[in-house]
Structure 1
Amino acid sequence: MSVTTGLFYLFSAILLGSAFRVITTRNPVHAVLYLVLTFFQASMIWMLLKAEFLSLTLVLVYVGAVMVLFLFVVMMLDVNVETMRVGFWKNFPLAAVLGALIIVEMSAVLMGGFRVNEQPDALAAVAKGSGELSNSKALGKLLYTEYIYPLEVATAILLVGMVAAIALTLRQRKDSKAIDSAAQVRVRAKDRMTVVKLAPTQPALPIEPTTDAPSVESKA
């Protein structure tokens, strides 16, 4: 057995163990930390498969940004685990059916349609004329040439989802600063500001001439 094969089995074993602990641990903070370890092991497996771009993206995006955000949110919310477990056994049959369906689909893909021995035509076209094939270069060219429109659609959907999440979070809260767009469009200038004339609060004082000013003499 080669070193690469041994590392693959080692990373895979740690990945499966940490993924199992994500769903079995009682502490939400520990679950997030185990998920970080799972992402690291998946990144190492991508590195063994010579997919450096995907490996670094997994570490930078998920571990460096998403999971850190999850960790802060879980620690700040102080989730009551006992309250969340009240309806566990009530929803367990549906969760078991969905989990079994996912396992069957993944098994069908891995056992039947995931065996690709030939290099895809798109990657071969990118590598033509160069001695080496860079997966980062191939991925970039595919994204911004053949898949530019799906990429733009995906970014628009993510933007709409982010705006919708912020709007739903700010809705129906006492301390919310949400703005009704329809009311903001219908607003008129005279409804925004009113000029009120106030009477003077103190009587005007008489202005007395000052005698300290120097006299100016005219020269003949």
Structure 2
Amino acid sequence: MDLLFYLFSSMTLLSGVMVIQARNPVHSVLFLILVFFNAAGLLVLLGLDFFAMIFLVVYVGAIAVLFLFVVMMLNIKIAEINEKRLRYLPIGGVLGLLFLFEILLIVDNDLIPLLFYNTENFLEFKDINFINWSENLQTVTNIQAIGNLVYTYYFYFFLMSSIILLIAMIGAIVLTMQKGIGIKRQQVFLQNTRDFAKTIRKIS
């Protein structure tokens, strides 16, 4: 578990840095998707499988794909990004230092009162016998409960949402396609339906 935690954490930090440092906007969005995947892995390690699934569905399935389509449709030039990078460097540095300062304040134990508890009162209740009823009940995980609802009661709504997302994806691909003028293309249907008896001539 510790190895997976350090692996997902390091990959999240590395991918976050690459989101900022990548010169190609498409590559930045792909690294952002990798950040979301690693963050979902951290949520799974914490036992929050429902939040991990929502994280993937919302951020990767909707927001990141939307960013990718917008970047592809805008056709941003890399040279313009490199020229404007130094312009926003002071503001980004100030915001980064402010964010780092807030993280240091949160990590400080003096600002987290939940970490402090009265050990004397805690030791008084250590000899009390109690029954953990949650272990005696037949429970299901969050993923199983959501799967039972989505694929049974809400099957039609789930199918309709999938079709809507598919239509949106196809529409975005069609809008971003650029057909060149003067390029010879094959017409497969006309080639297959061609009458070779009328096209092939025998010269004697």
TM-score by length of 1: 0.50
Counterpart residue number, 2:78: 81
The match for 1:176 is none
Aligned residue runs from structure 1 range 1-220, under 5 A: 4-112=1-109, 113=111, 116=114, 131=134
Higher relative contact order (CA 8 A, sep 6+): 2
Structure with the largest fraction of helix: 2
User: Taking every aligned residue pair, what percent have the same amino acid on both sides?
Assistant: 38
Cα deviation for residue 88 of structure 1 reads 3.1
> Between Structure 1 and Structure 2, how many residues are aligned?
124
1:109–1:25 CA distance, 2 compared to 1 (3 A): same
Task: Describe the shift of the 1:87–1:77 C-alpha distance in structure 2 as closer, same or farther (beyond 3 A).
Answer: closer
1:63-111 deviation line (CA, Å, top 9, x unaligned):
0111011111111110123223334323322221111001110221133
Q: Which has the greater radius of gyration?
A: 1
Alignment-mate amino acid for residue 104 of structure 1: F
Gaps of 5+ in 1: 119-128, 137-220
Paired with 1:53 and 1:67, the residues of 2 have a C-alpha distance of 19
Relative to structure 1, the CA distance from residue 59 to residue 115 in structure 2 (aligned partners, 3 Å threshold; closer, same or farther) is farther
* 8 Å contact kept, 2:22–2:28: yes
Whether the aligned pair in 1 keeps the contact of 2:15 and 2:31 (CA below 8 Å) is yes
Q: Could you tell me whether the CA contact under 8 Å between 2:23 and 2:81 is conserved in 1?
A: no
CA distance in 2: counterparts of 1:30 and 1:114, whole angstroms: 38
- The answer to whether the Cα contact below 8 Å between 1:51 and 1:135 also exists between their aligned partners in 2 is no
CA distance in 2, matches of 1:104, 1:8: 24
- Cα separation, partners in 2 of 1:117 and 1:134, compared to 1, 3 Å: farther
Q: 1:140-165: per-residue Cα shift (whole Å, max 9, x none)?
A: xxxxxxxxxxxxxxxxxxxxxxxxxx
Structure 1 CA distance for aligned equivalents of residues 108 and 38 of structure 2: 22
Q: Deviations over 1:144-195 (max 9, x none)?
A: xxxxxxxxxxxxxxxxxxxxxxxxxxxxxxxxxxxxxxxxxxxxxxxxxxxx
The aligned amino acid for 2:51 is L
Aligned alpha-carbon RMSD (Å): 2.8
Q: Distance in 2 between matches of 1:47 and 1:117?
A: 23
* Distance across 2 between alignment mates of 1:101 and 1:36: 25
